[in-house]
Amino acid sequence: MLKSPAGVRTGQVEVPLIDLTAQLATIRDAVDEAITRVVESQRFVLGRPVEELEERIADLVGVGHAVGCASGTDALLLPLRLLGEGGAGDVVVPAFTFFATAGAVHNAGLRPVFCDVSEDTFNVTAETVDEAWTTDTVGVIPVHLFGQMAPVEEITARARERGAWVLEDAAQAIGTVREHGGRTLRAGGVGDAGAFSFFPTKNLGAFGEGGIVTTDDASLAGRLREYRIHGGIQMYRHDVVGTNSRLHTLQAAVLLAKLPWLEQWNEARARNAQRYLDGLAGLPDVVLPTTLPGNRHIYNQFTLRVTNRDGLRRHLDEHGVGSGVYYPVPLHLQPCFRDRGHREGDFPVSERLSETVLSLPIFPELTGEQIDTVIHRIREFHGAA
């Protein structure tokens, strides 16, 4: 029997939904050293580690600029404030995503307009975005949900024809790509800007909060740098009213120490996913996640669609297997967006997904035995063990 890091119950392999202590063992020395260097410098705000991380992330995404900020939510909010230029307007966002995508639009003084998603990929398509388009639409936020890209090149081409901008929500998609039309498109590098999160459970996680905005637009990057320090690069001169949203130097140092591992972690997630795909094939009540041709999938989540989702979740829980529901309520039915006047049935795919999705443990350090345990429990629940 495996002695899993989360602890042992007799006769049972425990499989937590996520276990960050397993990753810590890999990176401990490098991270300890990086933290010590920042502590000894006593320079905790911006500085060289932040600049270096910005350069590395810009390279990874294939754009000219990256600007660190306090969280993934701020990596959406800050460019929205600047792209929206303080004015009003509608921004098309998926109904099926993490709340921050729409919350940031609202907090930037813009109006989130919801669209449905594809049942196969969980992502928006050019068609679902088109259906939601209003005469007041000024921008779109395609989300690269769970670790594979939405068809952002098509969405961006259509948006530009209409004079609108595109902000990619790439919080769950750091390092992923899409081969399309003979080109390699990188998450966060196709639209006007991309937003990434370093929340600990993302594929590249900090020891706390952090985020970064990517863009090829030098003027937008400059304005973001100004905006994150109260709208003034020069001390005590404020050209615009900004805010305080900086990436902590300690977090940048931790992220720099972890970055060399990102590619291996993303590959390990994909290997784990393949083991699930093989082991769970052919179950009549389980729909496995699909990857679009040309897409790389880095599985921030491995998400099934299951008829009796809540029953399966209980069964897994009773047998020491963690799982998660991302996301149980589509955004158009959230109480805070009541004034949009939506009702059940408006976005049927998003609603069906919220009732059927179940995410399984997929973190890179999972063992084969742990994955096989999860597979066994799911097959057992469906009478196919």
Ligand X SMILES: *Cc1c(COP(=O)(O)O)cnc(C)c1O
Residue 100 touches ligand X, criterion: CB under 6 A: yes
One character per residue 153-172, x = contact with ligand X (rule: CB under 6 A):
----------------x-xx
Residue 176 touches ligand X, criterion: CB under 6 A: no
User: Cβ 165 to ligand X, closest distance in Å?
Assistant: 18
Nearer to ligand X, 122 or 276 (CB): 122
Nearer to ligand X, 326 or 381 (CB): 326
Residue 249 touches ligand X, criterion: CB under 6 A: no
Residue 23 touches ligand X, criterion: CB under 6 A: no
Cβ atoms of 50 and 252 closer than 8 Å: yes
Residue 301 touches ligand X, criterion: CB under 6 A: no
**Cα distances (Å, whole numbers) of residue 135 to 90, 158, 186, 347:** 9, 14, 30, 20
Nearer to ligand X, 49 or 211 (CB): 211
Nearer to ligand X, 76 or 358 (CB): 76
Structural tokens at position 80: 């929205």
Which segment (94-102, 106-114, 153-161, 234-242) binds ligand X by CB under 6 A? Answer: 94-102
Nearer to ligand X, 90 or 169 (CB): 169
| Residue in 125, 128, 197, 245 binding ligand X, rule: CB under 6 A | 197
Task: Return the residue nearest ligand X (CB atom).
Answer: 72
Residue 80 CB contacts under 8 Å (≥ 6 apart), including other chains: 91, 104, 105, 108, 110, 139, 167
Cβ atoms of 85 and 337 closer than 8 Å: no
Closest by Cα among 88, 77, 204 to 141 = 77
Which segment (69-77, 236-244, 262-270, 313-321) binds ligand X by CB under 6 A? Answer: 69-77
Residue 245 touches ligand X, criterion: CB under 6 A: no
| Residue in 114, 122, 165, 199 binding ligand X, rule: CB under 6 A | 199
User: Cβ 53 to ligand X, closest distance in Å?
Assistant: 15
Residue 97 touches ligand X, criterion: CB under 6 A: yes
Residue 359 CB contacts under 8 Å (≥ 6 apart), including other chains: 17, 146, 301, 302, 303, 304, 323, 324, 325, 326
Closest by Cα among 93, 147, 110, 166 to 299 = 147
Nearer to ligand X, 101 or 125 (CB): 101
Which segment (98-106, 117-125, 132-140, 284-292) binds ligand X by CB under 6 A? Answer: 98-106
Closest by Cα among 274, 270, 304 to 287 = 304
Cβ atoms of 233 and 224 closer than 8 Å: no
Query: How many Å apart are CA 13 and CA 124, to the nearest integer?
Result: 37
Residue 98 touches ligand X, criterion: CB under 6 A: yes
Rounded (5°) CA angle 120-284-344: 50
Residues 326-365 that bind ligand X (CB under 6 A): none
Identity of the amino acid at 208 = G
Cβ atoms of 277 and 288 closer than 8 Å: yes
Residue 188 CB contacts under 8 Å (≥ 6 apart), including other chains: 61, 63, 168, 170, 173, 174, 194, 195, 196, 214
User: Cβ 99 to ligand X, closest distance in Å?
Assistant: 8
| Residue in 16, 49, 72, 142 binding ligand X, rule: CB under 6 A | 72
Nearer to ligand X, 72 or 175 (CB): 72
* Number of chain residues interacting with ligand X (CB under 6 A): 15
> Which run of H or E residues covers position 218?
helix 218-227
Given the rule CB under 6 A, which residues bind ligand X? Answer: 71-73, 97-98, 100-101, 143, 169, 171-172, 197, 199, 209, 211
